[in-house]
Structure 1
Amino acid sequence: MKLPIFIVDAFTAKAFRGNPAAVCLLENKLDEDVRQSIAKEMNLSETAFIQKLQPTDNFAHSSHFGLRWFTPASEIPLCGHATLASAAVLFHKINNVNSTLTFVTLSGELRATRAEDGVVMDFPLYPAHPQDFHEVEALIKTAIGDTLVQDVRYSPDIRGLLVRLSDSYDRSFLENLKVNTSNLLQVENTGKVKGLILTLKGEPGGETHAFDFYSRYFAPWYGVAEDPVTGSAHTVLSSYWSQQLGKKEMRAFQCSCRGGELKLSLCSDGRVDIRGDAAVVVEGTLSV
């Protein structure tokens, strides 16, 4: 069996930045163990599988598709950058004629709309609840040592622990912070936490673009030590920072070594629009 496959750098307009995802187009059903093997072979944080919902569907003309995401270790319920990558492939490589695509996923229906400056994704907005620091102190100390922490929240929707660093730190501190992920699975093995979000309040623009907040994301529980740019984490970050800053429109930057920009708009229906660009860097055929 031969399958069309692409590698797309998401949340960036330039190749070799942002977050790379593999995107595979499926004409027919594919066993889950084969999907997992493909994701392991691609060895990226996520591999997305776009599948036709009906035999008569067409990748260039249909507007509804199934979408699933696999890390090298397991399937995940929500992924932003691989959704952006999937939409970019359909819009720019398959030349899909629709302005909006709907993906049927484990997190419900997600819409992706073509825009002049990339793709706008309609995602759920997840709250982050106050978390007793002492209950997660061992996890936080293992990850970042004695780094000063200003706030700790927890999102059950993505099983993510949000750790806000002290406002006394700046972007360069977060970028250069050494995070120990190798021991996190031993410290937290209950299944409650599947991702660690470190975040920091933004700074005035000065000579660079102004960002409302910064973040980094770690998910060794899914086999991803650090994810370069994480759309799903921003379903929680958007909710948190909107409350903290009193803003509905925000610009965010994820401070991984590759880096990526996201534009966020909270909607009246309780969801969030996540806008980003993407660059297709590889297209080819996968032999299974």
Structure 2
Amino acid sequence: MTTDFVRDYFARALAADRLAHAYLLWGPAPEERDRAARDIAAAFVCPEGPARGMAPCGACRACSAVARGASPAFIELSADRDTIDIDAVRELIATLAIAYEARRVVFAPRIERLTLPAAHAFLKTIEEPGGATLYLFTTGNIGSLLPTIVSRCHRLPLYAAEAHPPPPDNPDLERLLADPARRDELDSETLADYAPGEDRRDRLRVLCAHLIAHAERRAAALCGEAPAAPTIFDALDLRGVLHVTERILAAAADIDANIHPDLLLECLLIDLRRGAA
């Protein structure tokens, strides 16, 4: 999802008192991803942050303390180190053991930097959250993390809008994807007819672009940002849409890897059918 969508997602969840305790923002553009995630984390402790769409005001006492690295409400884990070792996690655990009445956030960019001992110690911290503490992590490689850490977090794909521009015009494919009743027609042979071309990788790129657009359309409708429009993802709630988006983005990222595009497509279709069931 785009940065604006993710900001709005957090603002709505906070306003409705439905924030989970841990979130993992993942995406391929580390600078934009981590900058957006840090802003969201800072906005969590800024009095004006939620009203500003999860953007810190930058002028209040809380924001000034965050900027100086002197805020007890904003804990950034090993920001300038190549690894996050067990000592850093122990220091975090000791800090969190100190009673704190207001909201606070633990921000851990590039959480794949955790060493294995640190990851196991960190897992216990996530499993036993205390008070109004939000854990916000980022990564560019979910597969490098302990599965148990990933499973404790709500995952949000985050990418720059320009990374996935509007898909090329393809009325036939659009009619297929805009008809919820035709979800079971999603198979590789049918899609080959709707996304024509000699190069299988190019066809898969076209399909992923259209699927991402439909997932965004469904997410926007669920968040009340746009009128509902028919899509094969109509049966999904927001969490389901986010999961499906994650799988589409993963497939799109692997298109140029040394993986046969037909295998990528079949795996993607299995994920889509499971997600939309």
Which structure has more RCO (C-alpha within 8 Å, separation ≥ 6)?
1
Confirm or deny a common fold (TM above 0.5): no
Q: TM-score, normalised by structure 1?
A: 0.29
Q: TM-score, normalised by structure 2?
A: 0.30
Structure with greater proportional strand content: 1
Structure with greater proportional helix content: 2
